[in-house]
Homo-oligomer: A and B are copies of this chain.
Amino acid sequence: MHARPLLTALLATLLILGPVCAQAQSSVPALVLGHMNPDTDSIISAIAVAHLNNKRGIACQPAAQGPPSPETAFVLKRFGLTAPEVVHDVAGRKLYLVDFSDLAQAPKGIGEAEILGIVDHHKLGDVTTPNPLEIWTWPVGCAGTVIKSMYDFYGVEIPKNIAGGLMCAILSDTVMFKSPTTTEQDKKAVEALTKIADVADYKAVGIAMFTAKSAVEGVSAKDLVSRDFKNFIMNGKKIGIGQIEVFDLAMLDKVKNNLYQEITRLKAEGRHSVFLLLTDITKGGSELLFVSDDPSVVEKAFGKKPDGKSVWLDGVMSRKKQVVPNLEKAFK
């Protein structure tokens, strides 16, 4: 076959035609939002990614699936940031997801929304898209660490207040670098963010933040559990896993029975099992409260026989790294 005339035609065409780069620009800003029962990372990451995207020319506004927890409220106030608008239905919207990729943690209408991007540091969930998108997911302690690198990558300056928020998000998610999810990248990010935020001592800010988080007196068991509660689908079964972090487990002694009643109520809503990690930051471990249709999964997952309704798990501080993978295997 003689290819020359075709080659010439192709070359000419290549020189005349440019790429067809038509991309519809919407005037409604995309929402940037984190998981249900938002934690500090979820809310600060939404604020930061919305800011970064706006600087990149992608119109965005931060949102959240609920109001800030006491810990997050402390962080927002400390650095003069505004709580994102609460949104419960995202049908018809363009979306960036931060800090999750599981449909079970998504708002209503996710199936009728267009997902433009995901920034996360968890396992890859069951969100799928019909279109190509932007994903930044790294196995680090906090989405805030990924976002710090995204700012650097895109050459956008991090405002002082957002730097302070991201610093706190990382300290919160890594339990001040004590969680096994901590990586060198998290530490380096906090070091850099501390300077940008002009914070003299990140440890002092972190301790004040965990003090706000540990304030459990006068809070109902329902509110305590819902502050950090996530749904998962494991082998077709709906599972709920909550976590409460305190300086000392003794702080929860008075409310433990109420917490057990609350997870029993949550199970009755249609879940196969509900687990609640009561994490002792100082000891570096968790008491796991649970109710389940199949209590044997606890021993299968953690290799320790529970004492009735609960079991002490030494060294277990991370739901993401030390609880979810073990339970997924146990449920297989």
Which residues of chain A have a CB within 8 Å of any CB of chain B?
Answer: 1, 3, 6-7, 9-11, 13-14, 17-22, 115, 118, 120-140, 149, 153, 174, 176-183, 203, 207, 210-211, 214, 217, 247-248, 251, 281-282, 284, 315, 320-321, 324-325, 328-329
Is B203 a contact partner of A11 (Cβ separation < 8 A)? yes
Q: A3-B211, A10-B281, A178-B14 are in contact. Are A133 and B139 (CB under 8 A)?
A: yes
Is A17 a contact partner of B137 (Cβ separation < 8 A)? no
Ordered by A's residue number, 12 sampled pairs between the chains whose C-beta atoms are within 8 Å are A3-B247, A6-B282, A10-B210, A13-B282, A19-B178, A20-B179, A22-B180, A115-B124, A123-B129, A124-B128, A130-B329, A134-B137
Is B124 a contact partner of A133 (Cβ separation < 8 A)? yes
Find the B residue at minimum CB distance from A211: B3
Partner of A19, one of B174, B211, B325: B174
Nearest CB on B from A148, distance (A) = 13
Question: How far, in angstroms, from A137 to B127 measured CA to CA in the complex?
Answer: 14
Find the B residue at minimum CB distance from A176: B14
| Contacting residues, chain B, for A149 (C-beta < 8 A) | 153
Question: How far, in angstroms, from A269 to B329 measured CA to CA in the complex?
Answer: 34
Is A315 a contact partner of B133 (Cβ separation < 8 A)? no
Quick one: copies of this chain in the complex? 2
Q: A6-B248, A124-B118, A135-B136 are in contact. Are A177 and B19 (CB under 8 A)?
A: yes
| Contacting residues, chain B, for A123 (C-beta < 8 A) | 128-133
Is B178 a contact partner of A247 (Cβ separation < 8 A)? no
Question: How far, in angstroms, from A108 to B237 measured CA to CA in the complex?
Answer: 25
Question: How far, in angstroms, from A111 to B243 measured CA to CA in the complex?
Answer: 29
Find the B residue at minimum CB distance from A284: B17
Is B7 a contact partner of A247 (Cβ separation < 8 A)? yes
Nearest CB on B from A132, distance (A) = 4
Is A139 a contact partner of B134 (Cβ separation < 8 A)? yes
Nearest CB on B from A300, distance (A) = 15
Find the B residue at minimum CB distance from A15: B203
Question: How far, in angstroms, from A9 to B129 measured CA to CA in the complex?
Answer: 48
Q: A19-B182, A211-B3 are in contact. Are A10 and B132 (CB under 8 A)?
A: no
Is A14 a contact partner of B203 (Cβ separation < 8 A)? yes
Find the B residue at minimum CB distance from A315: B20
Question: How far, in angstroms, from A321 to B284 measured CA to CA in the complex?
Answer: 49
Q: A124-B118, A135-B124, A203-B14 are in contact. Are A180 and B19 (CB under 8 A)?
A: yes
| Contacting residues, chain B, for A207 (C-beta < 8 A) | 7, 10-11
Nearest CB on B from A255, distance (A) = 13
Nearest CB on B from A331, distance (A) = 10
Find the B residue at minimum CB distance from A320: B132
Nearest CB on B from A58, distance (A) = 11
| Contacting residues, chain B, for A137 (C-beta < 8 A) | 132-135
Question: How far, in angstroms, from A276 to B61 measured CA to CA in the complex?
Answer: 41
